Amino acid sequence: MNELIAELTPAQVENYLRKHPEFFHQHLNLLEHMSIPHPTGSAVSLISKQLELFRSRHHDMENQLTALIEIARDNDASLNRMHKLTLALLDATTLEDAVANLDVVLSEYFLVDFVAVRIIKHHPDPATITNLFIEPNSKDLEPFAGELADNQPKCGRPTMAQARVLFGESAFEVKSCAIIPLAFTELEGILAIGSREDGRFHYTMGNLFLNQMSEIIGTRLITLLQERKLHRQDVGEGREQGAEALS
**Is a pLDDT exceeding 60 seen at residue 121?**
yes
Q: Rounded distance, CA 124 to CA 57, Å?
A: 67
Q: What is the mean pLDDT of residues 147-153?
A: 92
Instruction: Provide mean pLDDT across the span 169-175.
Output: 95
pLDDT of the residue at 222: 92
CA neighbor of 172 nearest in space, from 160, 189, 184, 185: 160
Residue 12 reports pLDDT greater than 70: yes
Tell which wins on pLDDT, 17 or 161: 161
pLDDT for residue 1 is more than 50: no
pLDDT at 73: 76
Q: Tell me the pLDDT tens digit for each residue of 22-70.
A: 887 777 667 656 665 655 555 556 666 666 677 777 777 888 877 777 7
Domains and CATH numbers, the chain: 2-46 (no CATH), 79-235 (3.30.450.40)
Lowest mean pLDDT of 104-108, 195-199, 229-233, name the range.
Answer: 229-233
Band of residue 117 on the pLDDT scale cut at 50, 70, 90: very high
Residue 124 main-chain phi, psi, to 5 deg: -80, 0
Buried-state track 2-16, b at ≥16 Cβ within 10 A, e below 16 = eeeeeeeeeeeeeee
- Nearest residue to 158 (alpha-carbon basis) of 175, 146, 170: 175
User: Degrees (nearest 5) of the Cα angle 51, 56, 57?
Assistant: 100
- Residues in Cβ contact with 125 at an 8 Å cutoff, skipping those fewer than 6 apart: 232
Number of other residues whose CB lies within 10 A of the CB of residue 124: 6
